C-alpha cells in the first residue's frame, strides 16, 4: 500500500483500479528514487495507466536516468502477472518476488 516506509523491491505489480489516482505521480517519483526496475500494471484500463506512468517517468525527456520498464496487462489474472514479474530479470539481476501495490 502507498505510504509504507519500507522501500519497494525492484519489481512492482500495480493492481487497478486506482482508488487514489491523485497519488500516482508521487508513487512514480518514489519508484524512480528507489530504483524500481519494473512496473507491471494489471486490471481495467491498464494500457491507459501504463501510458500515464510512462509520461510521468519520461517527463520532458531531459533526464536519461529517469527510466523504468512498464508493462500493461488488462486481461490477465493478477497471479499470472505476478509470475511474469517474478521471472523478469531485467539487467541480469536475480529473479525476486514483486510487490503488489494498490493506490
In this predicted model, what pLDDT tens digit does every residue of 50-74 receive, in sequence order? 999 999 999 888 998 899 999 999 9
Q: Other C-beta atoms within 10 Å of 95: how many?
A: 11
Entry pTM: 0.91
Nearest CA to 73 out of 44, 98, 53 is that of 44
Nearest CA to 36 out of 58, 61, 7 is that of 7
CA–CA dist 43, 45 (Å, integer): 6
CA–CA dist 62, 101 (Å, integer): 28
> Can you read off the three cell numbers belonging to residue 71?
508493462
pLDDT, residue 2, reads: 47
Cβ contact 58:66 at 8 Å: yes
CA triple 25-59-28, angle to 5 deg: 25
pLDDT band at 1 (very low <50, low <70, confident <90, very high): very low
Is 91 exposed, middle or buried (CB count within 10 Å of its CB: 0-12, 13-18, 19+)? exposed
Amino acid at each position: 500500500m502507498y505510504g509504507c516506509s519500507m522501500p519497494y523491491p525492484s519489481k512492482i505489480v500495480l493492481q487497478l483500479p486506482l482508488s487514489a489516482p491523485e497519488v500516482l505521480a508521487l508513487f512514480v517519483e518514489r519508484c524512480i528514487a528507489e530504483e524500481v526496475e519494473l512496473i507491471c500494471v494489471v486490471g481495467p484500463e491498464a494500457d491507459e495507466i501504463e501510458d500515464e506512468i510512462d509520461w510521468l517517468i519520461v517527463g520532458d525527456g531531459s533526464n536519461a536516468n529517469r527510466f523504468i520498464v512498464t508493462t500493461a496487462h488488462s486481461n490477465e489474472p493478477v497471479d499470472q502477472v505476478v509470475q511474469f514479474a517474478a521471472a523478469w530479470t531485467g539487467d541480469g539481476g536475480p529473479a525476486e518476488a514483486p510487490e503488489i501495490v494498490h493506490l
